Amino acid sequence: MKRETTSIPSNEPLSTDLLHLENEQLRAEVEQLRDMIRQQQTELTRIEQRWEFALEGFGDAVWELNLQTKEIIRSARYREILGYTREEFPDVVAIWMDKLHPQDRQQLTDPDMSLYQTGVRKSHVTEYRLLAKDGTYRHFLDRGRIFSYSEDGRPLLMIGTSTDITHQKNIEEALRTSAHRLSNLIADFQEGILLEDENRAIVLVNQQFCNMFSVPLTPDALKGVDCSGMAEQSKGHFKEQEAFVTRVDQLLKDQKLVIGEEIALADGRTFERDYIPIFIDGTYAGHLWKYTDITKRKHAEDAAFHLNEKYQRIIENMNLGLIEVDLEERIVYTNQSFCAMSGYEPDELIGQVATDILLKGQNIQFMKEKNESRLKGDVDAYEVSIKNKRGEAMWWLVSGAPLYAESGQIIGSTGIHLDITKQKQLESELRVAKQEAEHSARAKELFLANMSHEIRTPMNAILNLGQQIKNTSLTEHQQFFIGMINTAASNLLVIINDILDFSKIEAGELSLEHINFSMAALIEQAVQVMTQDAEKKGLVITQKIDPSLAPALMGDPFRINQILLNLIGNSVKFTNSGSVHIQCDCKKAARNQLVTLSVMDTGIGIAPEFLRNLFAKFTQEDGSIGRRYGGSGLGMSITKQLVELMGGTIDVQSEKNKGTTVTVKLSLPIGKNDNEVNQKQTTPNEDVLLSKRILLVEDNAMNRLVVTTILKPYGVTIVEETNGFNAVERLRKETFDIVLMDVQMPVMDGLEATRITRQEISKSLPIVALTASVIRTEKEECFNVGMNDFLAKPFEGKELVGMLMKWLHGVVEVVEPEAKEEHESLYNLSRLETISRGSQEFIQKMIQLFCTEAPDVATQIKAAYEAGDFSKVKYLAHRIKPTVETMDITSQIESIRQIESLASNGVASNELELLVNDFEKTIHLVTEHMQTTYGTEDK
């Protein structure tokens, strides 16, 4: 700026105004200079900021270093990268050196700084690591250059940038680690690996590759080797040499992935080869060869193939159908036998869902459960009904097992199928035959019950009236004749009892008691009974009882008495002279006694050829035996079966004309040693019968005469009725002390009369059944309807009197000791009791529901079967099955399952018809019993 001046004369003093003006002018010029400096400084600052912002925009930090004073200034970005504040990391060289990584300090020392100060070094690019605030080291790329010099040429200022390259360094380290790991992994491969670049130079090869092809060099020595001629050089290793070379050339030309290609070697080995082309950003960058020695696997596969063929031929010859299904139950394999069994061709089966094509909507849930169990690894065998292609119902026995992959994972299941249709038909026929036999047995039982009634009724009259006549004044001839009549009648009764006992045993109707009794007393009584007959023949009966015999045993004294009387009776019958000896020996075994009963005689004996048939039915040694000694030929057969029912054994030793020894062995629990064993053998006071009113309900006049004749001396009043209806009406009008009720009568039988009496008239009036039947079910039914006791015809006078005194001795309540047995023969409510914890209200409701619904369902099942609606039969059977099981209707649990199964075939059969009819009949019988027992009819 040019300044103008004013000339002032030298001799003339400056005036004050002039000085002031000069001063103001100078001050204005100074202020103008200051403004110019400020503008230049502002512009310089702006330029510097732009430069720093430009650098920091790239993420770089900026620094300045005074080479003379060693002072350094860093931008905020530097500390930001490290995480420090200015106070924590001031621009002090010593602090910076302290945070430098120990391994980097040596290359960044003072000698380097002196090179800059002397001007020898003008710039640098270097890497180093600094400790960040978070404890990690950050990598920096540092670039610096001398920026200004002094007038004498000395370096003054260095400016540079620091770039954070930590991320790039981490990536590089990860890549080095990955490459190292990959290199080690490939080196450890059991497969031969060869990696070539796009020019076929070896990049990487492992030792296994060298071993497989007998290469004498190491993997490192092979790196960079040109493989262009390798196929030609190594073709001698392979069985088909030219084909190997051609195939390699083709693979390299196509540059397409090929996996699992098998190659046969000249030395018998087999390799599996993979060719993997490598592309980077769409540009071919080389390829990888992988060779695997699969020689052992091929041998195993060949062996497995031959073994599979072997077993396949076996299966084919055995006519077993084989299929394999995947996890979706789709058929993936089938053999010819399966096709022949099902009627389908292989192409009709492969890919189809097995259950859809074979079951046609039936047994689906059953097969679903089987397939689910297969996924759990279960192996089992089961029967299933299917329909073949022609719609014919068949039964197959299926053996199923899970199908595993080589990894051990379940990938499906396999099933071997055997056609058992003929066997099932045979089973069905056998069941039909069994049911017919059971029906026949029931018919036989009914016949025996009727015959028992028809025969025993007159026998009761003959025996009792004969006994009464014998007690009157008779001539000697009359006494002889009546004696003969009684003897003949008694013998006839023995034969009848034998036949009925045998029939009951065969039908499984004979039940055994399990009560306290005295074995010694039984033997004594049997000997006393037979002594009279023995003395008539001049025979001596002796007995010997082991003193260690327990005073009381548990068992059925009545049947043991029957055995003793039968054996002793036979000895007396077939011994003409000499003696009969009864011996009882015993041994203790834990809480039981092993009792051995022996009956020895000196009689006619048994021939060896007949001894083996001794226990056969209706058998005697010869015809003359029957004519001479009488009998039915059932005695020994019944004895043997009674012994076996008790779990014992019987043995016979005999010699013709020298005698016979029969030995029975029984294991019986030791009973209570108290006074209860024979406590009821005392004779009660007969005056208790005096003036008692007895209602006698009996349709047979002879039996009424027997009862009135026996009871007349006791001062009782007897009112007679000939049928149950009249008896009920009489009970409504008059009072009686006891009722003697026949079971089988016209108009209304004794069972129905008793049922009405219990429901409408009296629950405490003693009612004793008088029946000629000895069938257990009838006896149980008597107790079930409310009768108090049971007296079988023919009975002796003392038995009738004893029965009356038993029930007229005091107050008598209705007792149903056998009702539960009848209950359990039809159904069992114990499961309901368990479920409800004994709640009678719950049980009553369940019974009511059953009686309301079950008979209707049973009737619908029968109607559906007759209409040919088998799907409805199956549906109803499945619906009622849980009810049958809950009510524990034992005889029908398996039957309802069979009905459901057979109905799924969709065809009628004799077996299904019988099952349906029997099911309906049983359900109605159970319902009737429940309504009678639990009173559900009015609810």
Q: Domain boundaries in the chain?
A: 18-53, 58-164, 171-293, 298-419, 515-675, 683-819, 827-934
Has residue 703 got a pLDDT over 60? yes
Higher pLDDT, 255 or 771: 255
Using alpha carbons only, what angle is made at residue 428 by residues 425 and 431, rounded to the nearest 5 degrees?
155
Has residue 934 got a pLDDT over 70? yes
Q: Which of 19-23, 249-253, 342-346, 757-761 is predicted with the least confidence, judged by mean pLDDT? A: 19-23
pLDDT range class, residue 622, cuts 50, 70, 90: very low
**Structure letter (DSSP) for residue 582:** E
Average the pLDDT over 878-905 and give the result.
Answer: 85
In this prediction, residue 638 carries a pLDDT of 78
Q: Which of 217-226, 605-614, 622-631 is predicted with the least confidence, judged by mean pLDDT? A: 622-631
**CATH hierarchy code of domain 298-419:** 3.30.450.20
Name which of 596, 598, 586, 600 is nearest 551 in CA terms. 586
Q: What secondary structure does DSSP assign to 198-228, as a single string?
A: TT-BEEEE-HHHHHHTT--S-HHHHTT-B-T
Q: Which of 1-5, 66-70, 78-82, 439-443 is predicted with the least confidence, judged by mean pLDDT? A: 1-5
Distance in Å from the first CA to the final CA of the chain: 133
Has residue 13 got a pLDDT over 60? no
Between CA 699 and CA 15 the distance in angstroms is: 182
In this prediction, residue 746 carries a pLDDT of 87
Average the pLDDT over 28-42 and give the result.
Answer: 75
pLDDT range class, residue 682, cuts 50, 70, 90: very low
Give the burial class of 117: count Cβ atoms within 10 A of its Cβ; 0-12 exposed, 13-18 middle, 19 or more buried. Answer: middle
What is the fold, at CATH topology level, of the domain defined by 515-675? Heat Shock Protein 90 (3.30.565)
Name which of 420, 410, 419, 418 is nearest 325 in CA terms. 410
| Buried b or exposed e, range 454-476, using 16+ CB within 10 angstroms | ebbbbbbbbbbbbbbbeeeeeee
Average the pLDDT over 742-764 and give the result.
Answer: 91
Q: Give the type of residue at 342.
A: S
**Structure letter (DSSP) for residue 437:** H
Has residue 487 got a pLDDT over 90? no
Name which of 402, 256, 272, 378 is nearest 324 in CA terms. 402
In this prediction, residue 469 carries a pLDDT of 78
Has residue 683 got a pLDDT over 80? no
Q: Cβ neighbours of residue 420 under 8 Å, at least 6 residues apart?
A: 383, 395, 396, 397
SS3 584: strand
In terms of DSSP bridges, do strands 789-792 and 767-771 run parallel, antiparallel, or are they unpaired?
Answer: parallel
Between CA 304 and CA 320 the distance in angstroms is: 20
pLDDT digits (tens, 9 = 90+) for 590-614: 778 899 999 999 988 888 777 766 7
In this prediction, residue 504 carries a pLDDT of 60
**CATH hierarchy code of domain 683-819:** 3.40.50.2300
Q: Do domains 171-293 and 298-419 have the same CATH topology?
A: yes
Percent of the chain beyond pLDDT 70?
80
pLDDT digits (tens, 9 = 90+) for 118-127: 777 788 888 8
Residue 152 CA: distances (Å) to CA of 115, 120, 122, 123, 148:
17, 15, 16, 20, 12
Between CA 332 and CA 96 the distance in angstroms is: 75
Has residue 679 got a pLDDT over 60? no
Work out the mean pLDDT of the chain and round it to a whole number.
80
Provide φ and ψ at 223, rounded to 5°: -60, 130
Q: Which CATH superfamily is domain 58-164 in?
A: PAS domain (3.30.450.20)
Q: What secondary structure does DSSP assign to 128-153, as a single string?
A: EEEE-TTSPEEEEEEEEEEEEE-TTS
Domain formed by 827-934, architecture? Up-down Bundle (1.20)
Has residue 742 got a pLDDT over 50? yes
Name which of 313, 358, 312, 370 is nearest 331 in CA terms. 358
In this prediction, residue 498 carries a pLDDT of 59
pTM: 0.35
In terms of DSSP bridges, do strands 540-545 and 202-205 run parallel, antiparallel, or are they unpaired?
Answer: unpaired
Do 265 and 271 contact (CB within 8 A), yes or no?
yes
Average the pLDDT over 888-893 and give the result.
Answer: 85
pLDDT range class, residue 621, cuts 50, 70, 90: very low
Has residue 491 got a pLDDT over 60? no
Between CA 355 and CA 365 the distance in angstroms is: 10
Between CA 896 and CA 916 the distance in angstroms is: 8
Residue 554 CA: distances (Å) to CA of 256, 260, 515, 548, 558:
93, 82, 5, 16, 12
Structure tokens at 330: 């789709």
In this prediction, residue 917 carries a pLDDT of 87
Do 383 and 356 contact (CB within 8 A), yes or no?
no
**For residue 746, is the peptide bond before it cis, meaning its omega torsion is within 30 degrees of 0?**
no
Query: How many CB atoms are located within 10 Å of the residue 844 CB?
Result: 16
| Buried b or exposed e, range 860-879, using 16+ CB within 10 angstroms | bbbebbeeebbebbbbbbbe
Has residue 370 got a pLDDT over 60? yes
Phi-psi category of residue 894: left, alpha or beta, with phi > 0 → left and psi -120 to 50 → alpha:
alpha
Location of structure tokens 């003193």: 547
pLDDT range class, residue 729, cuts 50, 70, 90: very high
Q: Which of 281-290, 304-313, 577-586, 645-654 is predicted with the least confidence, judged by mean pLDDT? A: 304-313
In this prediction, residue 821 carries a pLDDT of 41
pLDDT digits (tens, 9 = 90+) for 776-829: 567 778 888 999 988 877 677 788 888 898 888 743 333 333 334 444 457 887
In this prediction, residue 730 carries a pLDDT of 94
Q: Give the type of residue at 211.
A: N
Name which of 670, 655, 554 is nearest 605 in CA terms. 655
Percent of the chain beyond pLDDT 90?
17
In this prediction, residue 355 carries a pLDDT of 79
Q: What secondary structure does DSSP assign to 730-764, as a single string?
A: HHHHS--SEEEEESS-SSS-HHHHHHHIIIII-SS
Q: What secondary structure does DSSP assign to 154-202, as a single string?
A: -EEEEEEEEEE-HHHHHHHHHHHHHHHHHHHHHHH-SSEEEEE-TT-BE
Between CA 920 and CA 884 the distance in angstroms is: 12
H or E segment to which residue 124 belongs:
strand 123-131
Q: Cβ neighbours of residue 217 under 8 Å, at least 6 residues apart?
A: 210
**CATH hierarchy code of domain 171-293:** 3.30.450.20
pLDDT digits (tens, 9 = 90+) for 513-548: 778 889 998 898 888 878 878 888 889 899 999 999
The distance of Cα 567 from the centroid of its chain, to the nearest Å, equals 53
H or E segment to which residue 832 belongs:
helix 830-836
pLDDT range class, residue 772, cuts 50, 70, 90: low
Q: Which of 144-153, 256-265, 338-347 is predicted with the least confidence, judged by mean pLDDT? A: 144-153
Between CA 744 and CA 320 the distance in angstroms is: 60
Do 726 and 741 contact (CB within 8 A), yes or no?
no
Location of structure tokens 């993936």: 332
Query: For the chain, how many helices (H) and strands (E)?
Result: 33, 27
Q: What is the largest CA-CA distance in the chain?
A: 218
